[in-house]
Amino acid sequence: MMQDILQKAVDRMLSGKADFCDVRFQSLRRLNVVMVDGAVRNLTEDAIEGVCLRARHDGSWGYASTNSSERGAILEAASKAAKNARLGTAKGKRIPEMRGERGSHRARVKLHPSKVPLEEKLSLVKDLDQAQREVKSVVNSNAAYAESIKTTMLANSFNAALEWEEVRGRLNCMSIASNGSRTEVYYDIEDGSGGYEMFKSLDTSKMGLACAKEAERMLSSKKCPSGETTCITDPMISGLLAHEVMGHASEADEIVKKRSFLSDVVGKRVASDLVTMVDDGTLQSAHGYIPFDDEGTRSSRTVIIDNGRYQGYMQSLETAADMGVKPTGNGRAQDPHRRVFVRMTNTFFEAGDWKLEEMIEGVKHGVLTDRSISGMEDPVGGGFEAKVLRGFLIEGGEVTDMLRGFTLTGKALEILKTTDAVGNKLELDGGTCGKGVEDLVPVSSGGPHCRSRIILGGG
């Protein structure tokens, strides 16, 4: 039995002078289907399976991993991990002993994707792609489906004995429209943690057709004005600010290494009193949901900003020990062959009291954003930069012209201190996040509409 082997590996590392150790067996199975212009461009099924072992000795980590699930190979890797830890020269605080979690936790899904025939998933993508091509100006249609099923078994020196499953799905479309002189793009996404039931009731024809029509509408969009102005960011752009700047800078390993502009700000005002920001791994339908992190710590809701005041950081076992606080369930790894870092889960600004119509009515001249293209990560300097897919001009409290893509820039804290209205509807957008450009883990970010002062770069 695998759990018994994992416990034997823990015992082996403890006998090798580890003062803390853990071992996790992980199996990750993924399916990706991509269709472009009516033809299947990519259909990939892959699986990763392996065991990661960590031993800690006087502040130094020793890692080892193996693709084998055989007892001998795992125990040999355990000996290597303990030896590697003893050879290390790093110094750090001992991870304080705590009660290890135990039990088996299956994903709460109504229709497990493994029970759905591949042909049905292909049909889903085909319908989504075909609907886009009903709009004559669409010159390129794209549709994609992705699913992942991750199973983890973990044991550690705190007597943890855990097994859990994570199931995620994602469906997206992208339409490219052209009138001969201009080309524009629009996209739509449905994603989350859960089973295939997320897509069973979805009208893919309606989704694809709506996406194509929006791409066509953008052909008449105008250039965005430049300069600082009042900006109402949509949930996706609000989420970029929460994730790329405030979120990465709130990962405690950046704090310990003195690489965050948010070091030494706990208890200080960093935003208007309308702003509350959290990282919450317990949201079961969100793409970044995790029942436990990859260290076996139960996921939690971590308040980072509370009504404008900074509260604290996301923690792993190691950073929590270094800072003398409790771990928050944010120790995550991409797969069994990668190390654990402090990582986000579902990071967002909480909803406020304002209706979007009320927020717009209060703007004499400004813009309303709609969807992102990309964002910049800047945990050191605190700068915010986001490329917006499109937006709308606001004049005299009314939405007027559609604007083609433009850029938002500014300092995150300066933007948040000018936030004078926060919308009453929270939306999350799922994806993956790297530590730098590697070690990708599933996350989501988002928020409500937020009204602030931001610098615009014309499209």
DSSP for 296-363 reads SPBP-EEEEEETTEE---B--HHHHHHHTS---S-EE-SSTTS--EE--SEEEEPP-SB-HHHHHHT-
105: β partners: 164
Residue 29: pLDDT over 70: yes
Asked if residue 172 lies in contact with residue 144, where contact means CB atoms within 8 angstroms, the answer is yes
Please give the Cα distance from 114 to 29 (Å, whole number). Answer: 10
Residue 117: what pLDDT? 98
Question: Mean of the pLDDT values across residues 105-130?
Answer: 96
Asked if residue 447 lies in contact with residue 235, where contact means CB atoms within 8 angstroms, the answer is yes
The pairing of strands 227-233 and 450-457 is antiparallel
Tell me the pLDDT band of 91, cut-offs 50, 70 and 90: confident
Question: Mean of the pLDDT values across residues 6-28?
Answer: 97
**Look-up of token digits 């209060």:** 362
Domain 2-220 architecture? 2-Layer Sandwich (3.30)
pLDDT in tens, 229-238: 999 999 999 9
Q: Is the pTM of this model over 0.75?
A: yes
Residue 459: what pLDDT? 59
The pairing of strands 365-375 and 383-395 is antiparallel
Question: Mean of the pLDDT values across residues 384-395?
Answer: 96
Residue 267: what pLDDT? 97
Q: Which residue has the higher pLDDT, 376 or 423?
A: 423
Residue 73: pLDDT over 90: yes
Question: Mean of the pLDDT values across residues 274-282?
Answer: 98
Residue 393: pLDDT over 90: yes
Please give the Cα distance from 63 to 81 (Å, whole number). Answer: 5
pLDDT in tens, 405-443: 999 999 999 999 999 999 999 999 999 998 867 789 999
Residue 450: what pLDDT? 98
Q: What SS3 class is residue 363?
A: coil
Residue 222: pLDDT over 90: yes
Residue 377: what pLDDT? 85
pLDDT in tens, 340-369: 999 999 999 999 999 999 999 999 999 999
Q: Which residue has the higher pLDDT, 457 or 32?
A: 32
Helices (H), 362-439: 412-417
- Entry field: residues in the chain: 459
Determine the distance from the C-alpha atom of residue 179 to the mean position of all C-alpha atoms in its chain, rounded to a whole number.
Answer: 36
Tell me the pLDDT band of 184, cut-offs 50, 70 and 90: very high
Asked if residue 454 lies in contact with residue 228, where contact means CB atoms within 8 angstroms, the answer is yes
Q: What percent of the chain has pLDDT over 70?
A: 99
Residue 312: pLDDT over 70: yes
Please give the Cα distance from 389 to 392 (Å, whole number). Answer: 11
228: β partners: 455
On average, the pLDDT of the chain sits at: 96
Domain boundaries, the chain: 2-220, 227-457
Tell me the pLDDT band of 95, cut-offs 50, 70 and 90: very high
What are the angstrom distances between the C-alpha of 254 and each of 6, 314, 315, 337, 444?
Answer: 31, 10, 10, 22, 20
What share of residues in the chain are helix, strand, coil (percent, to 5)?
25, 45, 35
Residue 115: what pLDDT? 97
Please give the Cα distance from 459 to 457 (Å, whole number). Answer: 7
Residue 92: what pLDDT? 85
Question: Dihedral of CA 446/452/454/456: which sign?
Answer: positive
Which of 332, 305, 304 has its CA nearest to residue 318? 332
Residue 439: what pLDDT? 87
Question: Mean of the pLDDT values across residues 119-125?
Answer: 97
Residue 147: pLDDT over 80: yes
Please give the Cα distance from 282 to 329 (Å, whole number). Answer: 10
Query: What is the number of other CB atoms lying within 10 angstroms of the CB of residue 381?
Result: 13
Residue 347: what pLDDT? 98
Q: What percent of the chain has pLDDT over 90?
A: 95
| Burial status of residue 47 (CB atoms within 10 A of its CB: 0-12, 13-18, 19 or more) | exposed
Q: Which residue has the higher pLDDT, 149 or 90?
A: 149
Asked if residue 420 lies in contact with residue 401, where contact means CB atoms within 8 angstroms, the answer is no
What is the enclosing helix (H) or strand (E) of 176?
strand 161-178
Residue 394: pLDDT over 70: yes
Please give the Cα distance from 130 to 132 (Å, whole number). Answer: 5
